[in-house]
Amino acid sequence: MRVNPRFTDALVRHFLNLQAYFTVGLLVVIVFIIFIKGISNCSLSFMLTYPEDMGRHGGIFPAIMGTVFLAALSIVFATPLGLGTAIYLTEYTRESRLTTIIRFGVESLAGIPSIIYGLFGFIFFVIKLGMGWSLLSGALTMTIMILPTIIRTSEEAIKAVPRNLRIVSHSLGATKWETTVKVVLPSAAPGILTGIMLSIGRAVGETAAVIFTMGSSLRLPASLMDSGRTMAVHFYILAREGISMEKAYATALVLVVSILAINILAYYTMNRVIAKYS
Amino acid sequence: MMDCALKTEKLNLFYGTFHGLKNVDFCVYRNAITSLIGPSGCGKSTLLRCFNRMNDIIDDVSVNGSVLVNNRPLEEIDIIELRKKVGMVFQRPNPFPFSVRENLVYGLKVHGYKRSDYDDIMERCLRAVGLWDDIKDKMNTPALSLSEEMKQRLCVARVLTVEPEIILLDEPCSALDPIATMKIEELMIELKRFYTILIVTHNMQQAARVSDYTGFMLLGDLIEFGETPKIFTAPQDERTDGYITGRFG
């Protein structure tokens, strides 16, 4: 017997709705649990004071700053490199064996588990180059780790810029570089920004690669060569070593809220940029 | 003999092995409108794009024969200088997805005009295309929010900012409605006082209405070239006659 297509249609629509709600629901549940468990220990002074007794007492100020430093540095290193690669791949070369190899390399880089990056960073930056456990080792390791995301998202964003904009720019006498800087990149900005924001999220949330390279010092890093810890690492150590589950959840709450804030900020900026141009 | 602003002699162009232009001898007279007509794929846009070297962007194109711009061989002219002198308007209105103002100053930035001159130049060019009154208070609105006709006028104004001598128009009205088309045609006739214009069109009435000279192309050959009234009333070649009377095309 033939099933009524209208019935199938309605069924599918409800089913798809359900899936969407389920996804959002998961996010809500996770944030809710973290919120309930963390809010009692989370306060402004928790965010602004130094930890005491391995984190059993006191706040997480150094961890917050460590997270900010690490994320900012890795973005500063990775963005020019990743954007440059994306511009090269899309604007300055034709599809060839070389581009296939580069893309394959980027894909492979993206698929490597973060612990491997941690080990590599430890062997190369910490030991071989003698940087020790430091902000710099951590940031360089994170740079390699987020590079594929930045390259891929930038490349897609640049490719989506209509070809005729490049042509008309050339017809007005602009060189390739002028066209890239003044037409292509501004048009691709929302996409590029998304990639950067995703990368910040990744750097903020990473633990394995960071412990191996940046170490886990509880002090506030005062220079590039100082060790430090991020909120994610702090959370991991507090929970793993049974130091204080209360403080761990409070840290997690700050972490989750800041990631949400970054995403909302990214979304807002992106819409502003898009609204300006279209 | 009148002065040719643009001229080709024995021009041949190949896309890979495809012979796109065959021994074309062509001339675009100064301060006049010349139109190129012919069925799709006849090479009229290809010929037009030879004059500002837009074919360079396409892979696998080879050209031989000569192209003269203001009686100077094309290869002697710096490409940036050439594209300043020979402006181009495209088939679809293609303003940049920026503000009206940023569209107009783009060429000025590229060619290093003084910032203090921007406002005067923008006003002059917007007046020339009849947009000034409509748009002078909307300089910061996104160019993509304008109507199609206004976008195309803006594109013409954008070309005018860098003071070209010659304007190439590649089917500039094919994305516009009849009223907008009429207005762009009036604009072209206005502009020919100061500029040399070459227009590619598949609209024969348009060629007849606006142009002083017409060339008819077919399969890469320039079949016939002459004063527009002659081409349309007494064509010498029977293929021209066939095309303009609608027997093929």
ipTM: 0.91
**Does residue B249 carry a pLDDT above 70?**
no
* A115/A195 same-domain check: yes
Tell me, yes or no, if A5 comes closer than 8 A to chain B by beta carbon. Answer: no
Regions in chain A scoring below 70 on pLDDT = 275-278
Place of tokens 């507090």: A238
The one-character DSSP state at B42 is S
Sheet-wide strand order for B61-69: B18-29, B4-15, B61-69, B72-73
Question: Is the CB of B54 less than 8 angstroms away from the CB of A178?
Answer: no
Contacts of B98 in chain A (CB under 8 A): 186, 277
- Domain residue spans of chain B: 4-244
* A261/A134 same-domain check: yes
* A101/A239 same-domain check: yes
What pLDDT, on a 0 to 100 scale, did the predictor assign at position A277? 59
Residue A237 belongs to domain spanning = 44-277
Place of tokens 């929970």: A239
On whether the CB atoms of residues A72 and A266 are closer than 8 A, the answer is: no
What tens digit of pLDDT does each residue of B201-239 get? 988 889 999 999 999 999 999 999 999 999 999 889 999
| Shortest distance, CA B244 to any CA of chain A (angstroms) | 31
CA separation for the pair A63, A217 (Å, rounded)? 9
* A34/A48 same-domain check: no
- Token pair for residue B167? 């304007």
A130 phi and psi angles, rounded to 5 deg: 65, 25
On whether the CB atoms of residues B127 and A261 are closer than 8 A, the answer is: no
- Give me chain B's average pLDDT, please: 91
Counting the structural domains of chain A, the total is: 2
- Token pair for residue A120? 């590599």
Q: Which of A79, A76, A84, A144 is nearest to A109 (CA)?
A: A144
What tens digit of pLDDT does each residue of A255-276 get? 999 988 888 888 887 777 776 6
Other beta carbons less than 10 A from residue B72's beta carbon: 11
Burial class of residue A196 (count of CB atoms within 10 Å of its CB; 0-12, 13-18, 19+)? buried
Categorise residue A81: left if φ over 0, alpha if ψ from -120 to 50, beta otherwise: alpha
Tell me, yes or no, if B106 comes closer than 8 A to chain A by beta carbon. Answer: yes
Report which residue type is found at A221: P
What pLDDT, on a 0 to 100 scale, did the predictor assign at position A112? 93
| pLDDT average, residue stretch B58-84 | 91
The one-character DSSP state at B86 is E
Report which residue type is found at A170: H
Burial class of residue B29 (count of CB atoms within 10 Å of its CB; 0-12, 13-18, 19+)? middle
Question: Is the CB of B144 less than 8 angstroms away from the CB of A277?
Answer: yes
* A167/A86 same-domain check: yes
| Shortest distance, CA B242 to any CA of chain A (angstroms) | 34
What tens digit of pLDDT does each residue of B22-52 get? 999 999 999 999 999 999 888 999 999 999 9
Tell me, yes or no, if A167 comes closer than 8 A to chain B by beta carbon. Answer: yes
| pLDDT average, residue stretch B241-248 | 84
Give the 3-state secondary structure of residue B222: strand
* A52/A154 same-domain check: yes
* A16/A75 same-domain check: no
Q: Which of A262, A236, A241 is nearest to A251 (CA)?
A: A236
CA separation for the pair A58, B105 (Å, rounded)? 57
CA separation for the pair A267, A154 (Å, rounded)? 16
Question: Is the CB of A277 less than 8 angstroms away from the CB of B98?
Answer: yes
Contacts of B83 in chain A (CB under 8 A): 170-173
Q: Domain B4-244, what fold?
A: Rossmann fold (3.40.50)
Contacts of A182 in chain B (CB under 8 A): 106, 109-110
* A24/A77 same-domain check: no
What pLDDT, on a 0 to 100 scale, did the predictor assign at position A278? 54
The one-character DSSP state at A127 is I
* A210/A150 same-domain check: yes
Binned at pLDDT 50, 70 and 90, residue B246 comes out as: confident
CA separation for the pair B35, B19 (Å, rounded)? 22
| Shortest distance, CA B111 to any CA of chain A (angstroms) | 8
Question: Is the CB of B106 less than 8 angstroms away from the CB of A182?
Answer: yes
* A69/A162 same-domain check: yes
Contacts of A172 in chain B (CB under 8 A): 83, 87, 106-107, 110, 158-159, 162
CA separation for the pair B8, A222 (Å, rounded)? 70
| pLDDT average, residue stretch B107-116 | 94
Q: Output the domain CATH number for residue A204.
A: 1.10.3720.10
Q: At what angle do helices A97-111 and A135-159 cross, to 10 degrees?
A: 130
* A20/A122 same-domain check: no
B107 phi and psi angles, rounded to 5 deg: -65, -35
* A162/A218 same-domain check: yes
CA separation for the pair A69, A161 (Å, rounded)? 33
**Does residue B1 carry a pLDDT above 60?**
no
